Amino acid sequence: MTTESNIILDTIQINQKIKRIAYEIYENNTTEKEVIIAGIVGNGYVFAEKLVAALQEISSLNVIICQVNINKKKPLEKVSTSLDINEYKNKSLVLVDDVLNSGTTLIYGVKHFLEVPLKRFKTAVLVNRNHKKYPVKADFKGVSLSTSIKEHVQVTFSENESSAYLV
C-alpha cells in the first residue's frame, strides 16, 4: 500500500510526463513517416501503449507498437518481439521501459535491436534511477531519481489511475 510520503509521481504527473516524452519523441522524428514504440513486457509495454496514444493525439506519425519479451529474471535468454524483424528494419525505434534501475533489462533489449539495422534508436523510461550496472542511458525520461540501493521504485498502471512510488 502506498502512502503520501513515498509517492514519486501521481496520476496527473505521470500523464504530464507521458505527454512531454511523446512530444520529445515526435520532435526527434519529425522527418519520419513512421516510428516503432517497443515496450518491454509488463509495465514497459503499458507505458509504451500510453506513449503511442499520446503520439497519435499530437502527430501525424504512423505509430506502431511492439512488445519486447525479455525474461527479467534471466535476461540472457533469447529476446523476442511481437513484430517480425522486417517490420522495424531501417526504421526509427524507441525502446520503452517503466524504470531504469541497474540497466540490465534495457541493455539486453538494446542488444537485441543492435542486431537489426535501424534508422534511429532511442530509449525512454518513466523513472530513471541512478544505480546503473551497465553503460545504458535513457534518451527520454519522465523523472531522474537518486535513491538508496535498498529502495525500490514500483510503478502501477490502471485504466484511471497510475502511480510511481518508493518501496
Predicted local confidence at residue 91, as pLDDT: 95
From first to last of its 167 residues, what are the pLDDT tens digits of the chain?
445 558 889 999 999 999 999 999 999 999 999 999 999 999 999 999 999 999 999 999 999 999 999 988 887 888 999 999 999 999 999 999 999 888 888 988 999 999 899 999 999 999 998 767 777 889 999 998 877 777 778 888 888 888 887 88
Residue 69: phi and psi, rounded to 5, are: -95, 110
Domains and CATH numbers, the chain: 4-166 (3.40.50.2020)
Q: What is the pLDDT of residue 103?
A: 84
In sequence order, what E strands does the chain have? Answer: 7-9, 34-40, 62-69, 80-81, 92-100, 120-129, 140-145, 153-157, 162-166
Check: CB of residue 136 under 8 Å from CB of residue 106.
yes
Q: Please give the pLDDT value at position 146.
A: 77
CA dihedral sign, ordered 70, 71, 74, 79: negative
Quick one: pLDDT at residue 118?
Answer: 94
pTM over 0.85: yes
Q: Tell me the one-letter amino acid at 29.
A: N
Q: Which residues contact 71 (CB under 8 A, 6 or more apart)?
A: 77
**What gap in Å lies between CA 123 and CA 25, rounded to an integer?**
10
Pairing of strands 162-166, 7-9: antiparallel
